[in-house]
Amino acid sequence: MDELFDITGKVSVITGGAGILCSEMARGLGKKGSKIAILDLNEEQAKAVAEEITSHGGTAIAVKADVLDKNSLEKARDVVLQTYGEVDILINGAGGNKKEATTSDTFEFFDIPPEAIQWVFNLNLLGTVLTTQVFGEVMAKRGEGVIINISSMASLRPLTRVIGYSTAKAAINNFTAWMAVHFNLNYSKNIRVNALAPGFFLTDQNRFLLTDEATGEPTKRGRQIMDHTPMGRYGVPEDLIGTLIWLVSDASQFVNGIVVPIDGGFAAYSGV
């Protein structure tokens, strides 16, 4: 079992690595012996995460990168290769939502500006595609690697209000399956592409929907979520780590092109 889940020495590149969920992924992989490259627009925050990992005996670097700028990604790739020599694991974690692409009691669907929808699609889908082009090419030339995209349960069961985010993450699911097949048929049978679909985790992108800014108490929507999650709580970042390590290790060596829900039973519950 130790050998199946062993990722010691594997090089992991994580976009959005300074964020709440992806920084925890970086820590989790670092504790298992993976060499981490934290890519983020916020270089200072990325450095803080890298320093935390190294202070606990791990290996990590911070690299500034814009997932919507291919040139920026190529420069980041060069830094990673110069430092570690290879790329074994890519986690496409950069993503998020935008308040202007979300309906509310005072903001109707008809009022959503197209540029807000475009912003959400670009960050979630295009940012994943461009990063996979840049770092996936390294894997294609080498003939092996693992790519993990970050989807959402909103992609499988579209949620009210978050039109931009739900549809963008649905596109991630399709891209995950397409890329898994494409790599295997055109480059190598030893490249796998899968996705994680977190349920309700309290992060900066959804906090304005789930908690009252003034009181910190759950909003009506937040209470609905709790009522429809059989495990009765939001996910915490640590809840992602076990599944992530399974997917990037040899323990899942015949798992390819799937989206794994991590949602506390939300999708399984009909509300009755």
Residue 165: active-site member: yes
pLDDT > 70? residue 42: yes
Write out the two tokens for 83: 């430092």
User: For residue 243, what are the contacts with CB-CB under 8 A and spacing of at least 6?
Assistant: 196, 260, 262
Average predicted confidence (pLDDT) for the chain = 94
Residue in 44, 128, 35 with CA at minimum distance from that of residue 81: 35
Q: Tell me how far apart the alpha carbons of residues 43 and 115 are, in angstroms, rounded to a whole number.
A: 26
Q: Tell me how far apart the alpha carbons of residues 90 and 223 are, in angstroms, rounded to a whole number.
A: 35
Q: Tell me how far apart the alpha carbons of residues 246 and 191 are, in angstroms, rounded to a whole number.
A: 15
Q: What percent of the chain has pLDDT over 90?
A: 80
* DSSP per-residue codes, 230-254: TT-S-B-GGGGHHHHHHHHSGGGTT
pLDDT value for 272: 80
User: For residue 86, what are the contacts with CB-CB under 8 A and spacing of at least 6?
Assistant: 11, 138, 142
CATH class of the domain comprising 11-199+237-262: alpha beta
pLDDT value for 186: 98
Q: Tell me how far apart the alpha carbons of residues 262 and 241 are, in angstroms, rounded to a whole number.
A: 10
User: For residue 162, what are the contacts with CB-CB under 8 A and spacing of at least 6?
Assistant: 97, 101, 102, 154, 209
Exactly one of 84, 165, 187, 234 is catalytic; which is it? 165
Dihedral angle, C-alpha 89, 267, 109, 215, nearest 10 °? -90
Give me the residue spans of the domains in the chain: 11-199+237-262, 203-234
User: pTM value?
Assistant: 0.93
Write out the two tokens for 3: 């050998």
Q: Tell me how far apart the alpha carbons of residues 263 and 156 are, in angstroms, rounded to a whole number.
A: 11
For residue range 75-94, list pLDDT tens digits in order. 999 999 999 999 999 999 99
pLDDT value for 222: 78
Give the HSE-up count for residue 250: Cα atoms under 13 Å, Cβ half-sphere.
8
